[in-house]
Structure 1
Amino acid sequence: MKKIKLLSLLSLFMVATFTSCTDDDKGERVYKGASLLNFHKGVSRDVFVFSGTGFTEINIDYGVLKPVAGDNTVSLVLDTENSTAVEGVDFEIVDGSDELTDGEITGQFTVRFLEGGAVQTGKIAKFKMSSSTLDNATFNEVYTVNVSLSCPINTFVGDFDATSWWLGSSTHTVAEGVDPNTIQINDFWSDNATAPNFILSYNDAYVVTFAPQNTGYFVAQYNGYIWARMSTDATQVSSFNPCTRTMKVYVNYYIPNVGSYGNKEEVFTGI
């Protein structure tokens, strides 16, 4: 028998408010404020340094709310008070100074994370931006990198506690999938689903993607099944850490041709 509690899904779905895909605002909005700096492609990510590679490099993107005037220098700096990673030991800022010239709106930094400092339990590097000519926005002003030494997938799979919008607090087994670079959350969907296991694909950085899947839960009021697809918010990136055995999956639940219940965060912690 599954160790699953459906949290009275029927009543939950009946009262849920669907998200409209229609933009009712026909007017054009023009931002007239300052060119404020912010990290505009997400504010956190997991980085893995693979044994024997020496280092892993990543790009960190940033932008401004409107094109800048004149020439502006923007620097990436470490928030030492809130970071456990140490510059020069755990990472190097390879390209930490960027020029935004007149009319530009985006830029990029490059950071190299070193194998010599990486540990399986992970370290945290929090970055901010500094400029003498541009101010920071009050949102998306900190970029967090969780860096750890890569662990094999067989150290990740096993039993997990789930804090889930879909099923509430429950216990699940995560196993290696049939196809390469896939894992599956066993018995995550309804017993009526064609395939009750939640199938996920992952890349070398353990970023998770998945195809739309039928949950098997039928909502009579809307005469349709609830489906699950990847989050429609590009900043919500699903991933797992094979060393700490933690995973976050961002799911958009919807009924085809009816509407969406919105983007939901599903959290799994190894036990």
Structure 2
Amino acid sequence: MKKILFLLIGCLMFFACREAEADNYEGDSMLNFNKGVAGNGFVLNSQTYSDYKISYGSIKAVEGSHQVKLVFDATQSTAVLGTDFDILDDTDDLGAGETGGEFTIRIYKAPATQDGKTATFKLQSGSLPNAGFDQTYKLNMSLTCPIANFVGIFDNTETWWYNAPGGQFEIKENPSVANQLIIDDFFDVGYDLILNYNPTTFAVSVPEGQETGYIHPSYGMIKVKSSTDGALVSSFNPCTRKLTVYMNYYVPAGTFGNQKEVFQGI
């Protein structure tokens, strides 16, 4: 059973206002992981290593020049620095007027496993404060599995669209479009969820304009697109068969916000 539509009516303006407030920030420049706090890095059998980018940002443009360091937290990790991976340059120069940068993690094939290992990172700067949120980045690194290993039947283990988790759905490749997945009848019978994915990083995007089949009594058809928050990054792991999707539900008059759906292969 889908969420009751009158609940959606009550939250429409709330999310619209909340997103507008984020654009009007006037406080200090503070550091955080601005494009998600977790990711999956994969190395192929045909590679010696692969490189994975971790982005960071400041809440507003900085004044002056600053150095920002990516710090590995071995106590919260199963991967080993110097064996499973290296940080190619753990210090980034953040210049006046800039709002962020990125670090490169090199993942090595020789010690990689399909089950994967986890590396945890934090941000550090001698001249910029850290924000009170998004301060830990967890990178799962593994030897990739073929997409044929991923597709199949999945449990919807965490949901916003449905009243409770537990529904089962088939996720399959689109035979007509490369690097595209279909979650059969996710929104309703005849209303699939379509996802595009990067075959190297397995990052996922939600093509804009997909209809859910539900018509808001005041604002028309409810549609979806990718999350509008850069920190909410959709992705899947073809080895563990876990898919996390962040979608923005919207109508022409506004948005119901960015919501999360999690699927685990069974």
Question: Does the CA-based 8 Å contact 1:68-1:105 persist in structure 2?
Answer: no
1:184 shift after superposition: 0.7
Match of 1:3 in 2: none
Match of 1:115 in 2: 109
Match of 2:170 in 1: 173
25, 41, 44: which is aligned to 1:47? Answer: 41
90, 107, 116: which is aligned to 1:96? Answer: 90
Q: Distance in 2 between matches of 1:22 and 1:87?
A: 39
1:210 shift after superposition: 2.4
Match of 2:120 in 1: 126
Which has the higher Rg, Structure 1 or Structure 2? 1
Match of 1:228 in 2: 224
1:113 shift after superposition: 0.8
Residue 213 of structure 2 corresponds to residue 213 of structure 1: no
84, 100, 105: which is aligned to 2:78? Answer: 84
Q: With structure 1 as the length reference, what TM-score do the two structures score? A: 0.84
161, 185, 192: which is aligned to 1:197? Answer: 192
247, 255, 258: which is aligned to 2:253? Answer: 258
Match of 1:38 in 2: 32
Sequence identity (%): 40
Q: Distance in 2 between matches of 1:122 and 1:59?
A: 18
Q: With structure 2 as the length reference, what TM-score do the two structures score? A: 0.85
Instruction: Name structure 2 gaps, 5 residues minimum.
Output: none
Question: Does the CA-based 8 Å contact 1:201-1:208 persist in structure 2?
Answer: yes
Q: Distance in 1 between matches of 2:242 and 2:211?
A: 25
1:58 shift after superposition: 2.1
Question: Does the CA-based 8 Å contact 2:206-2:247 persist in structure 1?
Answer: no
Aligned residue type for 1:217: Y
Distance 1:108-1:11 versus aligned 2 partners, 3 A rule: closer
183, 188, 192: which is aligned to 1:185? Answer: 183
CA deviations over 1:119-158 (Å, ceiling 9, x no partner): 1111111112334444433322222111111100111111
Distance 1:13-1:147 versus aligned 2 partners, 3 A rule: same
Match of 1:141 in 2: 135
1:214 shift after superposition: 0.7
Q: Distance in 2 between matches of 1:144 and 1:49?
A: 17
Q: Distance in 2 between matches of 1:149 and 1:23?
A: 38
1:109 shift after superposition: 2.1
Aligned CA-pair RMSD: 2.6
Question: Does the CA-based 8 Å contact 2:3-2:161 persist in structure 1?
Answer: no
CA deviations over 1:78-121 (Å, ceiling 9, x no partner): 10110111001110111112234566553432210111122111
